[in-house]
Amino acid sequence: MPGSSKHSWNYEVFDPKSQWLFVNPSESAESLGLYILELGHFFQDGRCYTDRVPENSFALLFTNDDPKQYSALTILNFPDKKYRSPSLPRRKGVCIVDNRSGYTIEQNGSSESYFIQFGGFMAEKYCQMILNNEKCREFVINWLPSLIQTFEQLVLLYRQPSNERRDIYASMLMTQILSRIILESDSERPLYAENKYVKRTLEIIEERFSEPLKLSKIAEELHVNSSYLSRLFASETGISFSVCLNHVRINRAKELLRVTNMSIEEIGAKCGFCNASHFVKQFHLNDEITPLQYRLQYRRALLPDEKI
């Protein structure tokens, strides 16, 4: 393992096939604004504990796609907050962690996990967009095999002697990963509600966003006054019913723009917009780009060297 670590760790069972590479970034790497500090691939069956001291860095955590590897209970402790999950990140999930205040990881059980520790001024800008003032955020992705393959490419790179091309290539790979997460992540926090009518209204929006939903009709279904439900919804969620419905429709449209070749007209209709021009107008108001521009941006981020 090149380099050394100022962090402490304790593993009861640390499988010899595990890998942990420490990287001392060169001046050339630091000048790029996004560079690798550590790469880890751990096989664990038992208790492990890691104490990471504060440093200007971030971590990308993920697991493999084998359901047998998800018995580990994971707890991330920050100075002011705790994150607890049966498997963090979850299956087909990635987790971004802010290490600027330091944190500890406690884990018990069986798991195979990966992590990439990275830093730089561009890393900070990307992670500010992803974390949205949280210390840790988790995302479900459908490209985990591609992420693992990229991790393996990085390991191969850092087993070679240091050179400028290696730094540039590693920075490019990390830029692609973070750009893809940003494009797939929701820009707003999920909505939560305590009131049973508001909860059910949110469920109806998620279930039937493709229909011509009206708050008055939902109020009839719930046997409450429409004006009362409108005020209650805004009070609990901080936004109006129409804004919430449009938000859900736009996010579903983004998913289809990313993962299908459906036309703009088809996607607009499938997501509940009355016609293509209305869909394009609402999408532009929300993201300041058109649906087609969003699709092209996403594909360029994934395939920067190919013509779209």
| pLDDT band with cut points at 50, 70 and 90 for residue 149 | very high
On whether both 54 and 22 belong to a single domain, the answer is yes
Instruction: Compare 306 and 174 and report the one with higher pLDDT.
Output: 174
- Percent of the chain at pLDDT > 70 equals 83
- The confidence score (pLDDT) of residue 14 equals 57
The mean pLDDT of 21-31, rounded to a whole number, is: 89
Beta bridge partners of 113: 42, 63
Evaluate whether 32 touches 122 at the Cβ level (below 8 Å): yes
Rounded to the nearest 10°, the torsion over CA 39, 69, 77, 13 is -70
Confidence of residue 161 (pLDDT cuts 50, 70, 90): confident
* pLDDT, position 138: 81
The pair phi, psi for residue 83, each rounded to 5°, is -120, 130
Which of 14-23, 113-122, 252-261 has the largest mean confidence? 113-122
Rounding to the nearest 10 degrees, give the CA dihedral for residues 95, 50, 119, 123.
20
**Residues 68, 119: one domain?**
yes
Write down the pLDDT at residue 188: 46
The answer to whether residues 105 and 218 belong to one domain is no
Check pLDDT > 70 for residue 84: no
Coil, strand or helix at 159: coil
Dump pLDDT digits (tens) for 198-231. Answer: 999 999 998 999 999 999 999 999 999 999 999 9
Cα(291)–Cα(250) distance, integer angstroms: 9
The two structure tokens encoding residue 67: 């359901």
The answer to whether residues 54 and 106 touch, using CB atoms and an 8 Å cutoff, is no
Same domain, 175 and 68: yes
| Domain co-membership, 80 together with 214 | no
Question: What one-character DSSP code corresponds to residue 48?
Answer: E
Residues 20 and 108 in one domain: yes
pLDDT of residue 154: 95
276 close to 265: Cβ distance less than 8 angstroms: yes
* Residue 106 sits in the same domain as residue 162: yes
Question: What pLDDT was estimated at residue 160?
Answer: 82
CATH code: domain of residue 41: 2.60.120.10
Q: What's the pLDDT at 281?
A: 95
pLDDT category, 132, cuts 50, 70, 90?
confident
Domain span holding position 217: 196-301
Residues 171 and 225 in one domain: no
Dist. CA 25–CA 55, nearest whole Å: 14
Q: How high is the pLDDT of residue 2? A: 39
Confidence of residue 91 (pLDDT cuts 50, 70, 90): low
Task: Tell me what pLDDT residue 298 has.
Answer: 73
Reduced to 3 states, what is the DSSP secondary structure of residue 62? strand
Distance, in Å, from the CA atom of 205 to the CA atom of 268, rounded to the nearest integer, reads: 16
277: CATH = 1.10.10.60
Q: How much is the pLDDT for 12?
A: 47
* Residue 91 and residue 232 in one domain: no
- Helix 164-184, helix 291-302: angle, nearest 10: 150
